A and B are shown apart, each in its own frame.
Chain A
Amino acid sequence: MPAPAPIARHTIAVLVDNEPGVLARVIGLFSGRGYNIESLTVAEVNAAEKLSRITIVTSGTPMVIEQIKAQLARLVPVHKISDLTTAGPHVERELALVKVRGGGEKRVEALRIADIFRARALDSTPESFIFEIVGDAGKLDAFIALMAGLGLVDVSRTGVVAIARGPEPL
């Protein structure tokens, strides 16, 4: 038996017509075919041409990733697809809002760590903070893990947005 193919994480950018149902098509494709979605973000990026950009983080074997791209390309309202992970260097960012509750030492410690991670306090009450943190998903994971011991009560994350480095558009 050949060794099982390695599973890798890919960030895929998809340019679609911003029309009703387009997100359902993309999500339905993933659930219907059993692909994995780690995160998915979508927003209109070109109002004049009514185009939205979807950023999907998924994982799979090389054959599955190729299928995912081919299946996405098959959707009629899809204009362009780029596998940023294989296309070259790119930047990825995600934003999280992190609510921490507590007082005393833990409160001080939370602020100190937030400072190290360059997280900003957006809201504060005598017994809580809301931090805003931006970075790649790994940085957010690390920050949230540290906050878990310091009174973490709520997290909201945007999911990853990404863009290729250099002068070229998608």
Chain B
Amino acid sequence: MAKDRMSGAEIVLQALKDQGVSHIFGYPGGAVLPIYDALFGQNDVQHILVRQEGGAVHAAEGYARSTGKVGVVLVTSGPGVTNSVTGLTDALMDSIPLVCITGQVPTHLIGNDAFQECDTTGITRPCTKHNYLVKNVDDLARVLHEAFHVARSGRPGPVLVDLPKDIQIAIGSYIPPARVVHKSYKPRLKGDPVQIKRAVEILAQAKRPLIYAGGGVVNSGPAAAQLLAQFARVSGFPVTLTLMGLGAFPASDPRFLGMLGMHGTYEANLAMHGCDAMIAIGSRFDDRITGKLAAFSPHSRKIHIDVDPSSINKNVPVEVGIVGDVAHVLEDLIKFWKSTQAKPDAKALKAWWGQIDGWRARDCLRYQNSETIIKPQYAIQRLYELTKGRDDVFVTTEVGQHQMWAAQFFKFEKPNHWLTSGGLGTMGYGLPAAMGVQIAHPKALVVDIAGEASILMNIQEMSTIAQYRLPVKVFLINNQYMGMVRQWQELIHGGRYSESYMDSLPDFVKLAESFGAVGLRATKPSEVDGVIKAMIECPKAVIADIMVDPKENCFPMIPSGAAHNEMLLGPADKREQPISEDGMVLV
């Protein structure tokens, strides 16, 4: 057989190799057995066997976000696909590049309600950036290379390739990646110089400027974060980051105001409310950021850099929209800023910083610590303090209060080290994502800051962690409640805690042990440091069960439907009016 003639399954393997894929996350089944056969006895691509397909997708997300590469998933037809849908949607919302290869019943059976058949491309059309059904083996190599290209370029996202079993067996020709030139898909990287010039003019005139950067900076790559830091330096402007952007600007930089939005800092939100010019960089004006749209940043001239034209003017109309990649656009913007010797009004800027420092002095993240009961904020703060010397710390989270406290109290200096499910808010994301990070960074300290409710959604992945001897650490903020739900019930639903108590929780120490991991527990503040140190030093996977105050709420908080200047700073902050009806319907 000619060298470029091979079976569909072999084409898959060859394409993965040529795309530089070293690990894939998957779970076998009837419709992908030929590909599993091709995986057998080769060493180029290592397959990580998860315990549920949902775990595979989140693991691939973790792998992708922490490396900047495309994460790869391999699952079978039918239930393998439907189990993957949550992860694909998560990746779509958070712009994570994935290629998901799914088995399908043979082409002649498609549409017959065959065993384990589902309409994969139909189900996943709205939750992928693009998807393909390959019906001819000679299209397979091109489609796979195209899938990688679409997944990683422009606004990254998940791409699915559905592969009927007969195509995996059929013999066809392989073509190498070469340069994929897609007929219609050509994302724009360079920004329009005219718009960049207008942006610089607006920013140079600003008296109360603000940089509002997000996950797009992380997507754009490490150079983008450096350029962002450079622009903040040359302009002297304050910077706030979204949840997805954390790490894109060093938290230790005095120009950093912290995260903004629903659980963002007082200074970041009031700066957003009070600024007279704002530049959004790879951030998408999510409702967690804007709060009440009509009252969002009412006095600012707005500029938005985004690679996806549909992000611009979606929720908030802007004066200048710049379509392009963050790194490309910032490079040109800084050049232009320097060449025009743009100099914002120094006196005004100083006054603005004075105002910001006044807000900062409120110390909005302050909480009432306790000698007897572990405050969740304290636990996370200690975790940060005891690990901050290292530069190889990756943090993933589940979803809930612990996620917000992690965002507030863990400081990141570099992009790609903070992984959280922002757009979809998927409970159960953190553990498999941590697994994916650890596969990519075997020596790093990878911690899943978890909630006890969330972690149970993908706890089966402890078994995968055991199989591959991954030293993943679970730092469990155990408040015995779906804390975030309980908080909303307390604040908005009259304290009626309907179904938010986590009854019958497992003993997490024994649970860890049953998976061959180490279980640790802290019940008093005095035990927290010891447990953290033991966790870090342990060469194995650990679940550290931190028994925290079950009643603690996460502040600051902008209640739904409220404006940035109507934020609740702490438990003592009484709202004058009950949450509006408009606010009640919001999530």
Q: Are A1 and B294 in contact (CB under 8 A)?
A: yes
Q: How far is the CA of A167 from the CA of B184 in the complex (A)?
A: 23
* CB-CB nearest in chain B for A29: B126
Tell me if B125 and A24 are in contact (CB < 8 A): yes
How many chain-A residues does the 8 Å CB contact rule pick out? 20
Asked whether A10 is an interface residue with its Cβ less than 8 Å from the other chain, the reply is: no
Which chain B residues lie closer than 8 Å to A32 at the CB level? Answer: 126
A66 to B182, CA, bound (A): 25
A66 proximity list for chain B (CB < 8 A): 313
Known: A71-B310, A74-B308. A20 touches B317 (CB 8 A): no
* Minimum Cβ distance to chain A for residue B295 (Å): 11
Residue from B129, B133, B150 in contact with A20 in the complex, judged by beta carbons closer than 8 Å: B133
CA distance A21 to B123 in the complex (A): 12
Residues of B within 8 A of A63 (CB): 313, 317
CA of A71 to CA of B310, assembled, Å: 6
Would A70 and B185 be within 8 Å (CB), given that A20-B133, A21-B125, A28-B126 are in contact?
Answer: no
Residues of A1-39 at the interface with B, using a CB-CB cut-off of 8 Å, are: 1, 17, 20-21, 24-25, 28, 32
B131 to chain A, nearest CB (A): 8
Contact A76 B312 (CB under 8 A): no
Q: Which residues of B contact A20 (CB under 8 A)?
A: 133
Q: Which residue of A lies closest to B130 (CB)?
A: A76
A78 at the interface (CB under 8 A from B): yes
- List which B148-188 residues lie within 8 A (CB) of chain A: 150, 182-185
- Interchain CB contact under 8 A, B183 and A79: yes
Bound Cα distance from A166 to B129, whole angstroms: 36
Q: Is B335 at the interface (CB under 8 A from chain A)? A: no
B: number of interface residues (CB 8 Å):
20
Residues B133 and A25 in contact, CB atoms below 8 Å apart: no
- Would you call A46 an interface residue if the criterion is a C-beta within 8 Å of the partner chain's C-beta atoms? no
Check if A67 is an interface residue, CB within 8 A of chain B.
yes
A55-98 CB contact bits vs B (8 Å, 1 = yes)?
00000000100110011011111110000000000000000000
Cα-based distance from A74 to B126 in the complex (angstroms) = 13
Q: Are A76 and B310 in contact (CB under 8 A)?
A: no
Inter-chain contact A77/B184, CB cutoff 8 Å:
yes
Determine if A76 and B121 form an interchain contact, defined as CB atoms under 8 angstroms apart: no
Q: Which of A21, A25, A70 contacts B310 (CB 8 A)?
A: A70
> How far, in angstroms, from A78 to B294 measured CA to CA in the complex?
34
Q: Are A78 and B126 in contact (CB under 8 A)?
A: no
Q: Which of A47-61 contact B (CB under 8 A)?
A: none
B41 within 8 A of A: no
Given that A28-B125, A66-B313, A70-B312 are known contacts, is A76 also in contact with B150, CB under 8 Å in the complex?
A: yes
Q: Is B309 an interface residue (CB 8 A)?
A: yes
**What chain A residues lie within 8 Å of B125 (beta carbons)?**
21, 24-25, 28
Known contacts A21-B121, A24-B125, A66-B313; decide if A76 and B182 are in contact (CB<8 Å).
yes
Bound state CA distance, A70 and B311, in angstroms?
8
Question: Number of A-B pairs whose CB atoms are under 8 Å?
Answer: 41
Q: Decide yes or no: A17 and B126 within 8 Å by CB, A1-B294, A67-B313, A70-B312 being known contacts.
A: no
Cα distance A63–B312 in the bound complex, in angstroms: 10
CA A21 to CA B135, docked complex, whole Å: 13
Complex CA gap A79/B185 in Å reads 8
- Complex: how many Å from CA A77 to CA B309? 16
User: In this assembly, does B506 line the interface, its C-beta being within 8 Å of a C-beta of chain A?
Assistant: no
B314 contacts A by Cβ under 8 Å? yes
Q: Which residues of A contact B130 (CB under 8 A)?
A: 75-76
Q: Within 8 Å CB of B317, what residues of A?
A: 63
- For the complex, give the distance between the alpha carbons of A77 and B185 in Å: 7
B122 within 8 Å of A (CB atoms) = yes
B314 contacts which chain A residues (CB < 8 A)? Answer: 67, 70
Contact A76 B185 (CB under 8 A): yes
Tell which of B126, B183, B309 touches A70, judged by Cβ atoms closer than 8 Å: B309
Shortest distance from the beta carbon of A27 to any chain B beta carbon, whole Å: 10
Considering only CB atoms, which chain B residue lies closest to A49 in the complex? B183
Task: State the Cβ distance, B125 to closest chain A Cβ, in Å.
Answer: 6
The smallest C-beta distance from B408 to any residue of chain A, in angstroms, reads: 33
What's the minimum C-beta distance from B188 to chain A, rounded to whole angstroms? 10
Q: Which A residues touch B122, using CB under 8 A?
A: 24
With CB as the reference atom, state the residue of chain B lying closest to A1. Answer: B294
Given contacts A20-B133, A21-B125, A28-B126, contact A76 B184 (CB under 8 A): yes
Q: A21-B121, A32-B126 are in contact. Are A78 and B312 (CB under 8 A)?
A: no
Q: Report A-chain residues with C-beta under 8 Å of the C-beta of B185.
A: 76
Contacts of A73 in B (CB 8 A): 309-310
| Whole-angstrom CA separation of A67 from B316 in the bound complex | 12
* Chain B contacts for A75, CB-based, 8 A: 130
Docked CA distance A67–B150 (Å) = 21
Nearest chain B residue, comparing its CB with the CB of A75: B130
Cα-based distance from A21 to B312 in the complex (angstroms)? 27
- Contact for A17 among B121, B183, B308, B313, CB less than 8 A: B183
Closest CB-CB distance, B189 to chain A, in whole Å? Answer: 16
Q: Specify the chain A residue showing the minimal Cβ separation from B131.
A: A21
Q: Are A67 and B310 in touch, CB under 8 angstroms? A: yes
- Docked Cα-Cα span, A143 to B125, in Å, equals 40
Q: Report how far A63 CA is from B318 CA in the complex, Å.
A: 11
Give B123-148 as 1s and 0s: 1 = Cβ < 8 Å from A's Cβ atoms. Answer: 00110011001000000000000000
Closest Cβ of chain B: how far from A26's Cβ, in Å?
Answer: 11
Q: Provide the bound-state CA to CA distance between A75 and B294, in Å.
A: 30
How many Å lie between the Cα of A28 and that of B121 in the bound state? 12
Minimum C-beta distance from A114 to chain B (A): 43
* B423 CB, min distance to chain A CBs, angstroms: 15
CA distance A28 to B124 in the complex (A): 11
User: Digit string of B175-218 for contact with A (CB within 8 Å is 1, else 0)?
Assistant: 00000001111000000000000000000000000000000000
Scoring B residues 557 to 570 as 1 if CB is less than 8 Å from chain A, else 0, what string do you get? 00000000000000
Chain A residues, Cβ within 8 Å of B308: 70, 74
Give the complex CA separation of A151 and B61 in angstroms.
62
List 9 A-B pairs, Cβ < 8 Å.
A1-B294, A21-B125, A28-B125, A63-B313, A67-B310, A70-B309, A70-B310, A74-B309, A76-B182
11 further A-B pairs in the complex, CB-CB below 8 A; given A67-B314, A73-B309: A17-B184, A21-B125, A21-B133, A25-B125, A70-B309, A70-B310, A74-B309, A76-B130, A76-B150, A78-B184, A79-B184
Residues of chain B having any CB pair with chain A under 8 Å: 121-122, 125-126, 129-130, 133, 150, 182-185, 294, 308-310, 312-314, 317
